[in-house]
């Protein structure tokens, strides 16, 4: 457990991920991240003995923040599809606002090596339990649904979001919320109900659009 | 990245002695090394240690680590395309083609877990851009396969639904590969079939195809 003030720690860890994206894993250094975050080097020397531990802490911090944002986003909806939509909006808005962190999360950090890939996979898989309520909302008996249904839904969202990031379209992630929503809901609700929810989300986004 | 050893007319001086077995061994060893250490940490020396071949043998076939690793991707991509094509016999209905192609793909990945890891994990993020192009080409093969099912859709699914459906399967496959449980990949067939057709067909029909996949698994037909 860190004994250092949390906002400063968060600043350092975000700076570390930014350094990672800009310079690549071989060139990234904790010292440069400390400078970038405008912190005093001596205070952080003992906190992270090497860049690996700092990068892992940075990834975990980001993953925790995103998970919390999703959970918070899910609180407002009146039914399961609208709660999922709220979670997706929160996640994709957060990623779109910080493209460099999205790049670090999905591409640069996993590229470090097998342990980092397993960590990214664990983060994505860890989102699956958030969809468990979908089994009750399904249009067919729960016992008929595939055992891996939550993973099918989470994997669908990850693939679409990853592709947007890969294409350099992270800033536009909010625009794909309706499509991602369809792919997350469809294993549980079927195509017709998922398409209805997607249409409702599009209408909601259009109503909130400034123009 | 160089181009040595990849041109159709290329014949290294000692090809008659080393090719194709040396090249195949080097490619397989590169995939295994990347699976164990990750692409970034893998070295040509590791590959040579696995094969017992001299550095000269590597240099005769590949310009560098990247070229050898991409050759491993190309081989898997070629085998994937062949496996999918074999399941496209005109006498089969579309649903049976999809079932057989998906089963063949899962069996191929289970039989070559190192190459599968290279293609589905390393090529996504850790390798040069040419590797991502191969990964994307493999996805396009699967998208084309699923687009046949899409012709039965009522039009409600967005364009990205095909990519999403494949992404669901990918997450499951990556999970098993990262956990070293590649032997379980073929068992994923029913759930993967469900996930790939449910965006385009009525849900009950998707469940029926998952049941057919279970039957296919149990009778080996």
Domain harbouring B138, CATH code: 1.10.357
Nearest to A189 by CA among A133, A125, A151, A148: A133
Q: Contact, A9 vs A64, CB < 8 A? A: no
Residue of A nearest to B214 (CA): A146
Number of domains present in the structure of chain B: 1
pLDDT score for A2: 53
Determine whether the interchain pair B175/A186 forms a contact, defined as Cβ–Cβ distance below 8 Å.
no
pLDDT score for A201: 97
Q: Contact, B118 vs B35, CB < 8 A? A: yes
Residue of B nearest to A150 (CA): B168
Q: Contact, A197 vs A189, CB < 8 A? A: yes
Residue of A nearest to B208 (CA): A144
Distance CA A97, CA B101 (A): 40
pLDDT score for B58: 97
pLDDT score for B20: 55
pLDDT at B18 over 70: no
Determine whether the interchain pair B38/A113 forms a contact, defined as Cβ–Cβ distance below 8 Å.
yes
Residues of B within 8 A of A186 (CB-CB) are 157, 161, 198-199
For residue range B140-197, list pLDDT tens digits in order. 989 988 888 888 777 789 999 999 999 999 999 999 999 999 999 999 999 999 999 9
Residue A46 tokens, joined: 């003992």
Residues of B within 8 A of A163 (CB-CB) are 163
Distance CA B170, CA A159 (A): 8
pLDDT score for A154: 98
Nearest-Cα distance to chain B for A58, in Å, is 18
Determine whether the interchain pair A151/B175 forms a contact, defined as Cβ–Cβ distance below 8 Å.
yes
For residue range B75-94, list pLDDT tens digits in order. 999 999 998 888 887 777 88
SS3 A77: coil
Does residue B106 lie within any of the structural domains?
yes
Nearest-Cα distance to chain A for B39, in Å, is 7
Q: Which of A106, A111, A154 sits opposite B171 (nearest CB)?
A: A154
Residue of A nearest to B132 (CA): A166
Residues of A within 8 A of B192 (CB-CB) are 152
Does residue B18 lie within any of the structural domains?
no
Residues of B within 8 A of A151 (CB-CB) are 168, 171-172, 175
Tens-level pLDDT at each residue, chain A (211 residues): 455 567 889 999 999 999 999 999 999 999 999 999 998 887 777 788 889 999 999 999 999 999 999 999 999 889 999 999 999 999 999 999 999 999 999 999 999 999 999 999 999 999 999 999 999 999 899 999 999 999 999 999 999 999 999 999 999 999 999 999 999 999 999 999 999 999 999 999 999 887 6
Mean pLDDT across B186-215? 96
Determine whether the interchain pair B157/A180 forms a contact, defined as Cβ–Cβ distance below 8 Å.
no
Does residue B41 lie within any of the structural domains?
no
Q: Quick one: DSSP state of residue A110?
A: G
pTM (2 d.p.) = 0.91
Distance CA B54, CA A85 (A): 57
Distance CA A4, CA A44 (A): 9
Angle at A51 between CA A104 and CA A110, to 5 degrees: 30
Q: Contact, A173 vs A96, CB < 8 A? A: yes
Print the domain residue range for B87.
73-219
Nearest to B124 by CA among B36, B34, B184, B47: B34
For chain B, the residue count is 221
Distance CA A23, CA A18 (A): 8
Nearest-Cα distance to chain B for A180, in Å, is 8
Q: Contact, A46 vs A70, CB < 8 A? A: no
Residues of A within 8 A of B37 (CB-CB) are 113-114
Nearest-Cα distance to chain B for A145, in Å, is 8
Does residue B35 lie within any of the structural domains?
no
Residue of B nearest to A146 (CA): B191
R_g over Cα of chain A: 19
Q: Is the ipTM of this complex over 0.90?
A: yes
Q: Contact, B191 vs B172, CB < 8 A? A: yes
Determine whether the interchain pair B161/A159 forms a contact, defined as Cβ–Cβ distance below 8 Å.
no
Does residue B116 lie within any of the structural domains?
yes
Does residue B10 lie within any of the structural domains?
no
pLDDT score for B11: 43
Does residue B87 lie within any of the structural domains?
yes
- Chain centroid to CA B154: how far? 30
Determine whether the interchain pair A117/B121 forms a contact, defined as Cβ–Cβ distance below 8 Å.
yes
Tokens 């592709």 correspond to what residue? A163
Burial B136-170 (b: 16+ CB within 10 A, else e): eebbebbeebbeebbeebeebbbebbbbbbbbbbb
Distance CA B107, CA A200 (A): 40
Distance CA B188, CA B36 (A): 24
Residue A97 tokens, joined: 């606002």
Determine whether the interchain pair A148/B203 forms a contact, defined as Cβ–Cβ distance below 8 Å.
no
Residue of A nearest to B192 (CA): A152
- CA quadruple B204, B210, B214, B215: dihedral positive or negative? positive
Determine whether the interchain pair B171/A194 forms a contact, defined as Cβ–Cβ distance below 8 Å.
no
For residue range B64-80, list pLDDT tens digits in order. 999 999 999 999 999 99
Determine whether the interchain pair A192/B156 forms a contact, defined as Cβ–Cβ distance below 8 Å.
yes
- CA quadruple B199, B200, B205, B210: dihedral positive or negative? negative
Does residue B210 lie within any of the structural domains?
yes
Instruction: Using CB atoms within 10 Å of the CB of residue A77, give its burial: 0 to 12 exposed, 13 to 18 middle, 19+ buried.
Output: middle
Specify the higher pLDDT residue, B149 or B22: B22
Phi, psi of B144 (to 5 degrees): -60, -40
């Amino acid at each position: 457990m860190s004994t250092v003030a949390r906002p400063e720690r968060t600043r350092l860890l975000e700076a570390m991920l930014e350094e990672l994206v800009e310079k690549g894993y071989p060139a990234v250094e904790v010292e440069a991240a400390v400078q970038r975050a405008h912190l005093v080097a001596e205070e952080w020397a003992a906190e992270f003995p090497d860049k690996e531990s700092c990068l892992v802490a940075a990834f975990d911090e980001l993953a925790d923040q995103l998970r919390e944002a999703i959970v918070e986003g899910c609180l407002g909806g009146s039914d399961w599809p609208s709660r999922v939509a709220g979670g997706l909006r929160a996640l994709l808005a957060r990623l779109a606002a910080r493209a460099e962190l999205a790049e670090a999360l999905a591409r640069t950090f996993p590229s470090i090596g097998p342990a980092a890939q397993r960590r990214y996979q664990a983060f994505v898989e860890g989102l699956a339990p958030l969809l468990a309520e979908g089994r009750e909302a399904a249009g067919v008996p729960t016992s008929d649904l595939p055992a891996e249904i939550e993973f099918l839904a989470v994997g669908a969202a990850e693939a679409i979001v990853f592709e947007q990031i890969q294409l350099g379209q992270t800033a536009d992630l909010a625009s794909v919320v309706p499509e991602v929503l369809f792919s997350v809901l469809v294993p549980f609700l079927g195509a017709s109900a998922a398409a209805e929810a997607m249409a409702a989300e599009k209408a909601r986004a259009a109503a909130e659009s400034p123009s | 990245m160089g181009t040595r050893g990849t041109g159709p007319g290329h014949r290294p001086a000692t090809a008659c002695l080393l090719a194709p077995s040396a090249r195949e061994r080097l490619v397989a060893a590169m995939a295994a090394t990347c699976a164990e250490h990750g692409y970034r940490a893998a070295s040509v020396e590791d590959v040579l240690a696995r094969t017992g071949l001299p550095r000269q043998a590597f240099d005769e076939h590949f310009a560098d680590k990247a070229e050898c690793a991409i050759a491993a991707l190309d081989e898997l991509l070629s085998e994937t395309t062949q496996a999918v094509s074999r399941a496209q016999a005109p006498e089969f209905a579309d649903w049976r083609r999809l079932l057989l192609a998906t089963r063949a793909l899962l069996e191929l990945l289970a039989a070559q877990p190192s190459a599968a890891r290279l293609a589905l994990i390393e090529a996504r993020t850790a390798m040069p851009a040419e590797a991502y192009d191969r990964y994307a080409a493999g996805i396009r093969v699967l998208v084309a396969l699923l687009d046949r099912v899409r012709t039965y859709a009522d039009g409600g699914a967005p364009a990205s639904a095909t990519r999403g459906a494949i992404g669901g399967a990918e997450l499951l496959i990556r999970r098993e590969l990262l956990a070293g449980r590649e032997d379980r990949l073929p068992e994923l067939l029913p759930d993967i079939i469900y996930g790939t057709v449910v965006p385009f067909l009525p849900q009950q029909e998707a469940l029926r195809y998952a049941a057919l996949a279970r039957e296919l698994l149990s009778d080996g037909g």
